[in-house]
Each structure stands twice: as structure tokens, then as C-alpha cells.
Amino acid sequence: LSAALALLGGSAAAVVVWKWLGKRQIQKQMEEARRTRDEGVKKMAKVVQQFREQVPSVQTDTILSLPLLELTRRLREGSLSPKTVLYTYLEKALEVTRQTNCLRHFIPECEEQLQEIQRQEEKGLLYGIPVSIKDHIGHKGHLSTCGLVQCLGTVVQEDSVLVKVLKRQGAIPFAMTNVPQSLFSYDCSNPIFGQTLHPFNRQKSPGGSSGGEGALIAGGGSILGIGSDIGGSIRLPSSFCGLCGLKPTAERLSVWCTRLLNMDVCSRPTPVPCAMGPMARDVDSLALCMKALLCQEMFRLDPTVPPIPFNEEVYSSSAPLRVGYYDTDGYFPLPPCMRRAVQETRGALQAAGHQLVPFSPPRIHYVMTELFLKTFFADGGRAWLDVFTGGIVDPSLKSQVNGCKIPRLAKKLLALILKPLQFLLLLLKLKNVATISTCRSVKEMWNHHHEIQAYRTEFIDRWKELQLDVVLCPVLGPAFTTGYPGKLLTAISSTMLYNVLNFPAGVVPVSTVTEADEEELKLYQGCCDDPWDQTLKQAVAGAVGLPVAVQCVALPWRDELCLRFMKEVETLSREK
């Protein structure tokens, strides 16, 4: 007996030591990644300093203030050099990342690309433009981490199609930006590179998952960025940071060689697809980026992308639009300032000669629980849990991770016990993570795919009955205090809807939070003043002066019409 106990004790000790060694190895990997990032920042700072010493008369503020269209014009005509523009933005990016921690890594090969574009016979549409890209967009010779330890040892062997096309059009990818761990969050924090902060308020989050892009562009350190969106990951940072951002129809831009979790997006069979898209300071910049990307080079490199060039005629049209609108989806009431933004924009559009029609999106609770989240947690979240190597989980994700770890039977018992209590509404929202129904068979999975298609048909039929061109609706905002996005996963219903539908949708800033908004927020009760409504109130409090945006939507493959509507909203808001 004593021998058996000794053997058991020795085995337990061995397991403890093995786990400790594993965690120590993970810590070393993370420390090495941070050291590599910091060394890259130091090297880039040195290069920028050398340039400033060689060319001390650069008009930095003038260059940084130029809109993208004007900057491209000056670069093409030669009144500005690509080198001057690149180092000006590198310098500004260094400043912004010191304040916000928005960069995951500089791309030193940007200097090689600078030389390459000067050898090209033709100047592309983005000639000499520095471009930032989200962490998981593949760039040869660099990591694509998704904020995950398991991705730290794999260097990308080939540029993604998007990066290849950007380079072909003369752009200079110069930085990769920070993301939340696993990308499944609209905060921007991971255990490797830390928390990214809002450029206008250090207590606030820039949003996510393209949060590094949002912070860098809003802070002035990039003029054009590429993000991705599978639940609002372009639109939410754009809303929080006061940018314009477009989630195109998913298949409009290539996703080849773009990592999502522990696999490539292009190999991930999901009925709610990931969309790549641009983020910038104005709508014209988004349109130019889409025009540059939708070229023969992309269609050649990725034959799965429909060869549909950018339709300039649609984007430039001035014909009156028939606009559907709503200021709440009936699922998660947004703060008063976001509804005000829709109402004021509706009035401006009507005064400008457009026809406004009330519109109500159907069955959002069903879409949120049975269509969207069931897509990603069809297996109860097991595949998602597998990406958290060594149990290293960012605090912003712990509630979701813990919810997925609850055994299925325990979830059902929890739901049964709590159902009669006053926390029923809270439970219904918690159900999205802790008690979400799963697909227990292949047949159920096929039925789930069919249900998504059926809902898309239902939504389009309602759209066509009203003869709508576009829809104006709210987007989540203003910027949350850091840490709160992880407590309010279900608050993304306003953006999530258009991922399920695969409609192009974009965000345009139209106002800022006022003192009156802040006072009205004190009276906000949401659905029934439950704990979730109170949490939302806490998340957005203290946002006076921060951006307020609206969302613009069009039917699938009408991306240019979506941009044209965004441009109209932008023009009217600036006139106001």
C-alpha cells in the first residue's frame, strides 16, 4: 500500500512539474514575441531619426493632414516623394503606438517595397501610400498570431492575396496592428501584446477585433488600413474611433492566406463568412481602396473572387434613394446618442430629397441565438477552446471561455433552475454563450445552414416589398470602457445581423457625444433595466466628445451603392 501511495504521489508530482514546465515554456515564447516587437520598434525609430536628420525640412503636419485622394494625386505628379510620405507616417505611427499600444509589429520590408514601386513601369492607384494591415492578414516573413501562443512559432511563407494586390497597386504595407485573442471579441487585448487603448481617451477601448487598425488610423498613424469583419470587427472599431469602415459582401475581396483562429479563413466552411475590408478617415478613401483591389491581379491570383470591377458610375450617382430606416432592432437597445444619430441623419436625408421608409428587421433574437452564435458554437465551443494553448486566456474572454467549459447537462440544469427567477432576461442573454444550442449531428448542421438561407430570403423579401435601395440603422457605440466588451457579447446584434445576411455594410461618423447625451444616459433602462442594461450604461458612460456613428447597408454585391449612400451621409453630416 505504501509503495502504491508513493507511486501515486510521485506521478502527481511529475504531472505538476510537467505542467509548470509547459507554462514556463509558454511564458518564454510570449516574452520572446514581445522582445522581437520592441526591438522592431527601436530599429524603426532609429531609421526614422536618420531620415529626419537627412531631410529636416519635411512638413509633417501638412502631409498627415492630406486626404487620401489628395495624397495620391501629389505622389503621382511628383510633388511629394513616396519616401517622404512613408517616413512621415512611420514617425507618426511610432508616436501613436507609444500612446495606445496599437502596433503588433512594423514591417521592415516596407523599405524594399519603397524601392520596388519606384522601379515599376506604371504607377498603381495606391502609388506610394503607406498601408497598415490587421495582424492575421498574411505578410511573408512575419507572424500571423491572432493573439494566440500557438501561432507564435509559424512564420508566414507567402504574402496573402490582398497584400500582393496592394503592392501591385503601389501601396507600401508598413505595419501590422494588434488584435484581441482569437479575434472573437470587440475589445482589443491579448496576453502576448497587451491591451490597445483608444487614441482619444485612454480609459476607453478602440473596439475590435480590428482595434489596432482603429486606434492607429484615428490617431493619425496610418491613412488606410485593411481589417476583417465576421460580427462587426471593422464596423465596431470604426464606430468607436470615428472612422469610416466598410464590410463588403464577403466574397468580393480575397481571404486567401489570411489566418482565422488556427486555420485559414479560406478553408473554414461556415455559412457566416469572414469579410475583408478597408478602414480610413473618409468614404472616398474606402472607394479608392476598393477600386484598387478589385482589379485583374486579384481576379487572377484568387479565381474564387468574382471578376467584378468597381462600378464608378454607381458610386458617383446623385439619384435620389429610397432609404429604409430603424433606430433599434428590438433586441439590445443602444444608448440614446446612437439612436439620436439615426434620427438626425434620417432628417438630413429627407431634407436632401431622399425618400425615407420605416423598416423593421425581423426576429433579431432568433438570428442572434439560433443563427449567428450557433454557427460559431455548433460544437459547444470545443474547437474555439482548443486554441487557448496552456490555458492562457485574456481576462476579456474569460466569461465566454468559462461558459463554453460548462458541461451540456449542467447548462440545461442551470437554465431550468434559473428560469422561474427574476434573472430570466439575464439568462436569455447568457444563453448566447453558456447555454447556446449546438448541432448534435450532420443533419442538424445542414438544417442550420438551411435556416440561415431561409432567413436571408425572408429579409430580402421584406426589403423588396418596400422597394428599398439602402437601409440606415444604428451601430453599437460610443466607445466602451476597456474590459466591458467581454461582459456584453450580445450587444453586437446591430452589426452581427449583416454578417448573417452577408450584406455590404459600412459605418460613418456623424456626430459626437454631448453633455445632453450623457444626462439622458442616466435615464437609460434598455429592455427592463436588468443587469445587462446597467452594464451597458456603465460601459459607455464618460464618453462626451467621442464619435457617434450610423450604419449604412445595401443588398449583396451592391457594395458601390453602399459606399455611395455612405458618401451621402458623410456629406450631409459635414454640412450640418
User: Residue 129 and residue 71: Cα distance in Å, rounded?
Assistant: 8
User: Residue 31 and residue 246: Cα distance in Å, rounded?
Assistant: 35
Give the H or E element holding residue 164: helix 161-168
- Residue in 92, 123, 134, 247 annotated catalytic: 134
- Does the active-site annotation cover 233? yes
Which residue is listed with cell 478602414? 279
- Residue in 132, 182, 233, 239 annotated catalytic: 233
Q: How many CB atoms lie within 10 A of CB 320?
A: 13
CA distances from 221 to 22, 96, 243, 245 (A): 38, 6, 13, 16
CB 129 within 8 A of CB 170: yes
User: Residue 206 and residue 225: Cα distance in Å, rounded?
Assistant: 14
CA distances from 287 to 218, 314, 560 (A): 18, 11, 8
CB 134 within 8 A of CB 227: yes
- Known binding positions: 183, 209, 230-233
Residue 179 is which amino acid?
V
CB 232 within 8 A of CB 492: yes
- DSSP state letter for 367: I
- Does the active-site annotation cover 134? yes
Q: Where are the alpha helices (DSSP H) in 55-159?
A: 60-65, 68-77, 82-100, 110-119
Q: Which residues, 6+ apart, have CB-to-CB distance to 470 below 8 Å?
A: 321, 322, 323, 324, 552, 553, 554, 561, 562, 565
The interaxial angle of helices 68-77 and 82-100, nearest 10 deg, is 150
What is the CA angle 562-288-341, rounded to 5? 40
User: Residue 239 and residue 494: Cα distance in Å, rounded?
Assistant: 12
- Residue in 132, 209, 228, 573 annotated catalytic: 209
- Does the active-site annotation cover 285? no
User: Residue 128 and residue 506: Cα distance in Å, rounded?
Assistant: 26
- Known binding positions for substrate: 183, 209, 230-233
The catalytic residue positions are: 134, 209, 233
